[in-house]
Chain A
């Protein structure tokens, strides 16, 4: 975690040498141009390969059914058919599923932010017995994959009567070891002087948290929020287990499986559903790329 890094990816020599960092004296310019071309070729091929599956999906979802089997596949929908989107939305219950996903994601993101802020604050600023041991307990949760707890968690949800409820969908994910860790680190970076000054000014703990600590921890909060959003929206295994019957709280990811399973003849409709399901996250990626990268690489770079 590098809270101070300003560039999301960082670049070689960024800020210091804005022009052609690969340039060295004594190199023939022709050769450099050739290398540059090779680099762009590689990048473009990579981009095409990475994008092709999603791009073809978008195109296919807009094609009339008769054009789906055309070979070579049409690379641009000359006569876009929005009909499939309407069908996926109404018949495939996609509208309901999207609403459910939005509610589920909102609950998980808010819950994780609140529990992480509270616990992070305690670990950073308060003194209490067994603090270290408890922090180790929090970190230990990172060692236990959710899949390993599936057997008993399904029983717990069943005993609580939480099948097909938002409680069953979200409560197991309302706390996170990573989130607590991120916020504790962010809080620890707040200078002691600032805390002392706040105390002298008569700030209580709550006012200190709201007025000073949280605004200063904004990068960590944003990173955690974006990460939670991504993870919650894309969950598959647990929603599948918990929303086994009935549409009540079924999320869009499970809806996609049903779209594919029940309407085999309507590939175009399933594809339209796929595009609808991935769209919010592509927007998330473009808008919050920096935060996303920061949260995903939290453990990668010392």
Chain B
């Protein structure tokens, strides 16, 4: 905190500074300890673990194999299948989730009667957990009590056991669950678009459509890119849907083995922490890549409001 006007003698000032610094470290310490033990240490440990082959039986010593294991895992058909499914899943979820969210946000972005009710409804899926969403959609897609057969969609084998349709089914559920966040983010972005700019374009004779595509969307681009990163990371980290709706027992399992599920599978079932560490680092690189790409694109292309 600021000191009083008259400066105290140098001695007390320095001891004061020492005390202030000590207090500072003391206050930062609790959070730092949690981060150290549960974020940075386990993150760094991946790099070491990745170089060791751990036998699937506890108690046996692990063996140093160097980068050999990294290459082996990354080239394995299991990883490639998992990566392929994950990327396909991203393609299914991200554009749909963002576009529908934007559409609803634009529609609800007027001061009109009952709009508050629509907004609560559109944001509502942000509070539905992955377990809740999975159970809800699991029931809707159930071959017996579900609604799909009645709607004329009755693939055989049932949709969640179906090698073709299981992943799209999970994607539909995920788009629904992501919609709330997408709507909230897009609405916040829209309300930050300055009305004067839109008005100026209208005065210049631009049609509503031109105003939307040529003014609103460019001004919204930071929001859209932010949404893109959030959605992609959401899709990369998908786990609960697969765990609840698919699981090992499903015939479609190999086609819906998303990366995080694969990591947990490797930890808990295969019990080979070295391979799990390689997979974890792959997930980290994907996440980091998306974030850095967004930063670059935002720097270069995105239009900011004045």
- Whether the Cβ atoms of A54 and B124 lie closer than 8 Å is yes
Q: A21-B195, A144-B284 are in contact. List 6 more A-B contacts (CB 8 A).
A: A46-B122, A69-B145, A128-B20, A143-B291, A156-B42, A199-B4
CB distance from B286 to the nearest CB of A (A): 10
Residues of chain A with a CB closer than 8 A to B263's CB = 147, 150-151
- Whether the Cβ atoms of B150 and A71 lie closer than 8 Å is yes
Flag whether A299 is at the interface (Cβ < 8 A). yes
Flag whether A137 is at the interface (Cβ < 8 A). yes
Cα of A36 to Cα of B119 in the assembled complex, Å: 17
Residues of chain B with a CB closer than 8 A to A16's CB = 195
Residues of chain A with a CB closer than 8 A to B31's CB = 115-116, 118-119, 138, 174-176, 180
For A144, the closest partner residue in chain B by CB is B43
Could you pull out 10 A-B pairs where Cβ atoms are within 8 angstroms?
Answer: A7-B191, A47-B122, A122-B24, A151-B276, A152-B45, A152-B273, A241-B264, A273-B135, A274-B135, A292-B123
- Whether the Cβ atoms of B127 and A284 lie closer than 8 Å is yes
- Whether the Cβ atoms of B118 and A43 lie closer than 8 Å is yes
What 1/0 mask marks residues of chain B from 137 to 150 whose CB sits below 8 Å from any chain A CB? 11110101101001
Flag whether A166 is at the interface (Cβ < 8 A). no
Count A-B contacts at CB 8 Å.
Answer: 322
Query: B28: which of A119, A144, A192 is its contact (CB, 8 Å)?
Result: A119
What 1/0 mask marks residues of chain A from 245 to 265 whose CB sits below 8 Å from any chain B CB? 000000001101101100000
- Whether the Cβ atoms of B128 and A267 lie closer than 8 Å is no
Contacts A149-B42, A175-B30 hold; do A256 and B135 have CB atoms under 8 A apart?
A: yes
Flag whether A210 is at the interface (Cβ < 8 A). no
Flag whether A33 is at the interface (Cβ < 8 A). no
Determine which residue in B135, B176, B227 has the highest number of CB atoms from chain A within 10 A of its CB, and name it: B135
Contacts A151-B280, A175-B30, A301-B188 hold; do A50 and B226 have CB atoms under 8 A apart?
A: no
Flag whether B239 is at the interface (Cβ < 8 A). yes
CB distance from B247 to the nearest CB of A (A): 9
What 1/0 mask marks residues of chain B from 102 to 128 whose CB sits below 8 Å from any chain A CB? 011001111110010011111111111
- Whether the Cβ atoms of A293 and B184 lie closer than 8 Å is yes
- Whether the Cβ atoms of A145 and B233 lie closer than 8 Å is yes
Residues of B within 8 A of A (CB): 1-4, 17, 20-25, 27-28, 30-35, 37-43, 45-46, 49, 103-104, 107-112, 115, 118-133, 135-140, 142, 144-145, 147, 150, 176, 179, 181, 184-185, 187-192, 195, 202, 222-223, 226-227, 233, 236-237, 239-240, 243-244, 260, 263-264, 267-268, 273, 276-277, 280-281, 283-284, 287-288, 291, 304
Contacts A118-B30, A125-B1, A282-B124 hold; do A236 and B129 have CB atoms under 8 A apart?
A: yes
- Whether the Cβ atoms of B119 and A118 lie closer than 8 Å is no
Query: A14: which of B111, B187, B239, B260 is its contact (CB, 8 Å)?
Result: B111
Cα of A296 to Cα of B230 in the assembled complex, Å: 11
Residues of chain B with a CB closer than 8 A to A46's CB = 103-104, 107, 118, 122
Contacts A9-B119, A51-B121 hold; do A123 and B28 have CB atoms under 8 A apart?
A: yes
- Whether the Cβ atoms of A199 and B2 lie closer than 8 Å is yes
- Whether the Cβ atoms of B239 and A296 lie closer than 8 Å is no
For the complex of A and B, 4 pairs with smallest distance between CB atoms: A10-B191, A152-B42, A128-B24, A234-B129
Query: A73: which of B119, B136, B150, B244 is its contact (CB, 8 Å)?
Result: B150
Residues of chain A with a CB closer than 8 A to B107's CB = 39, 42-43, 46
- Whether the Cβ atoms of A53 and B223 lie closer than 8 Å is no
Flag whether A78 is at the interface (Cβ < 8 A). no
- Whether the Cβ atoms of A285 and B132 lie closer than 8 Å is no
Flag whether A132 is at the interface (Cβ < 8 A). no
CB distance from A261 to the nearest CB of B (A): 8
Residues of chain B with a CB closer than 8 A to A205's CB = 1, 23
Q: Is the interface of B mostly helix, strand, loop or mixed?
A: helix
- Whether the Cβ atoms of B21 and A127 lie closer than 8 Å is yes
Contacts A56-B140, A300-B227 hold; do A11 and B127 have CB atoms under 8 A apart?
A: no
Residues of chain A with a CB closer than 8 A to B49's CB = 151-152
Cα of A39 to Cα of B288 in the assembled complex, Å: 39
Cα of A274 to Cα of B244 in the assembled complex, Å: 13
Flag whether A211 is at the interface (Cβ < 8 A). no
Tell me which residues from 124 to 146 in chain A have a Cβ below 8 Å from any Cβ of chain B.
125-129, 131, 134, 137-138, 141, 143-145
- Whether the Cβ atoms of B243 and A257 lie closer than 8 Å is yes
Flag whether A271 is at the interface (Cβ < 8 A). yes
Contacts A43-B108, A115-B34, A286-B120 hold; do A54 and B136 have CB atoms under 8 A apart?
A: yes
Residues of chain A with a CB closer than 8 A to B21's CB = 126-129
Contacts A24-B202, A152-B49 hold; do A57 and B136 have CB atoms under 8 A apart?
A: yes
CB distance from A10 to the nearest CB of B (A): 3
Contacts A43-B107, A127-B24, A150-B263 hold; do A51 and B124 have CB atoms under 8 A apart?
A: yes
- Whether the Cβ atoms of B147 and A73 lie closer than 8 Å is yes
Tell me which residues from 285 to 302 in chain A have a Cβ below 8 Å from any Cβ of chain B.
285-286, 289, 292-293, 296-297, 299-302
